[in-house]
């Protein structure tokens, strides 16, 4: 094959599969690409940062820890918000996304983040901000933001791996778990070691809840239908095997488990908490990446 021909074929049918031959489109389980490949990576990061920021804010409410509120609010709005906007094809029209809260989950999310931004600011600047009513309202808003990314994915009926029942509980647990770990680390390094040690019992509960949700998600998706099975198989395929093994199994489960067992009963120190935070930070990113990357559509041609 001449070089020119080779270049032509590479351009028309890139090896990443994005340019499959037109007559082979959707005749096999086909992976969704828009929300994870190329510019789609922004969305993966945006969902993550919005959710852990809201998770940190949520846990900080229980400890009435203002620095946690400020950091959580900033992570959600600045990191999460800006990355969301960077993902859009026409970022200057982002305001238009408030237009359809009646049907669009994305639109509802923008409203919730807007209300969270305003009320959160009010809570942070007022002296009596930690009253029960405010806390309950902000707690509910935080949970809605934590579940927003996966809720947006969950409503897509065409992708069984995302429409699994376990997607929403998993996203809530994961947001709160990472947020709780950020707060525990902040308390440990700021000298509040007794508080950080007291939080360990919650770390144990959240870790096992996270693990359970992950197992139930995989089990549920596998048993949903043959397309769900194709998604799970893709998670352990050659392309994603390393991320699944190192990121999901190693960093999201095994390492936090070991560190949780070492600190069992509240025997904590800042370094170990930092190690666990770093592991679950990278691990949770890997879990989300795998879930977004392995979602496949049902082929349009029925074959046997």
Partner 1 sequence: MPRWGMVIDVKRCIACWGCSIACKEEHFLPPNVFWNRVLIGERGKFPSSSKLILPILCNHCSDAACVEACPTGATYIREDGIVAVDDEKCVGCRACLVSCPYQQRTYYDNEVKDREYFPGQGKTELELIGEKLYPFKLGTVIKCNFCTERLEDGMKKGLEPGVDEDASPACVNICPVSARVFGDLDDPNSKINRLIMEHKGKQLRPEFGTEPAVYYID
Footprint on this chain of partner 1 (rule: CB under 8 A)? 4, 7-8, 11-12, 19, 22-27, 30, 32, 34-35, 39-40, 87-91, 93-94, 96-97, 99-100, 103-107, 110, 152, 155-159, 297-298, 300-301, 303-304
202: closest CA among 218, 187, 219, 224?
A: 187
Distances (CA, A) of 281 to 155, 248, 256: 26, 11, 10
Give buried/exposed letters for 196-226 (b at 16+ CB in 10 A, else e): bbebbebbbebbebbbebbeebbebbeebee
* Closer of 42 and 211 to partner 1 (Cβ): 42
Tell me the closest approach of the beta carbon of residue 50 to partner 1, in angstroms.
Answer: 15
Nearer to partner 1, 8 or 118 (CB): 8
Q: How far is the CB of 243 from partner 1 (least distance, A)?
A: 21
Q: How far is the CB of 230 from partner 1 (least distance, A)?
A: 15
Nearest approach, Cβ of residue 164 and partner 1 (Å) = 16
* CA 18 – CA 133 distance, rounded (Å): 50
Q: How far is the CB of 231 from partner 1 (least distance, A)?
A: 14
Residue closer to partner 1, measured from CB, 227 or 273: 227
Minimal distance, residue 174 CB to partner 1, in Å: 21
The nearer residue to partner 1, 165 or 190, going by C-beta atoms, is 165
Residue 77 CA neighbour count, 13 Å, CB half = 18
Q: Which is closer to partner 1, CB of 149 or CB of 179?
A: 149
| 24 DSSP assignment | G
- Distances in Å between the Cα of 46 and the Cα atoms of 100, 133, 150, 185 are 21, 29, 12, 22
CA-based angle 124:130:136, to the nearest 5? 105
Cβ atoms of 35 and 149 closer than 8 Å: no
Q: How far is the CB of 294 from partner 1 (least distance, A)?
A: 14
Report the C-alpha dihedral over residues 35, 41, 46, 49, rounded to 10 degrees.
130
The three-state secondary structure class of 298 is coil
Q: Kindly tell me which of 51 and 200 has the beta carbon lying closer to partner 1.
A: 51
Alpha carbon distance 77, 67 (integer Å): 15
């Amino acid at each position: 094959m001449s070089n020119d021909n080779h270049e032509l074929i590479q351009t028309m049918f890139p090896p990443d599969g994005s340019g499959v031959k037109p007559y082979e489109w959707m005749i096999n389980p086909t992976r969704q690409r828009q929300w994870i490949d190329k510019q789609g990576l922004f969305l993966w990061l945006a969902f993550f940062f919005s959710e852990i920021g809201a998770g940190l804010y949520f846990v900080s409410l229980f400890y009435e820890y203002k620095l946690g509120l400020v950091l959580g609010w900033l992570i959600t709005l600045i990191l999460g918000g800006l990355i969301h906007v960077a993902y859009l094809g026409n970022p200057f029209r982002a305001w238009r996304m408030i237009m359809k809260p009646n049907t669009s989950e994305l639109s509802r999310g923008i409203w919730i983040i807007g209300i969270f931004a305003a009320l959160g600011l009010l809570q942070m600047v007022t002296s009596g901000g930690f009253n029960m009513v405010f806390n309950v309202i902000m707690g509910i808003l935080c949970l809605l933001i934590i579940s927003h990314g996966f809720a947006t994915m969950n409503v897509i009926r065409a992708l069984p791996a995302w429409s699994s029942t376990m997607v929403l509980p998993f996203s809530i647990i994961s947001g709160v778990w990472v947020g709780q770990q950020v707060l525990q680390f902040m308390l440990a390094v700021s000298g509040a070691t007794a508080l950080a040690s007291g939080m360990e019992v919650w770390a144990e509960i959240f870790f096992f809840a996270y693990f359970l949700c992950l197992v139930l998600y995989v089990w549920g998706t596998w048993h949903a239908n043959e397309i769900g099975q194709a998604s799970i198989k893709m998670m352990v395929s050659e392309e994603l095997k390393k991320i699944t093994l190192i990121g999901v199994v190693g960093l999201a489960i095994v390492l936090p488990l070991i560190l949780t067992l070492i600190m069992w009963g509240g025997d904590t120190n800042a370094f170990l908490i930092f190690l666990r935070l770093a592991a679950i930070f990278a691990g949770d990113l890997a879990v989300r990446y795998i879930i977004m990357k392995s979602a496949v559509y049902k082929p349009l041609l029925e074959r046997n």
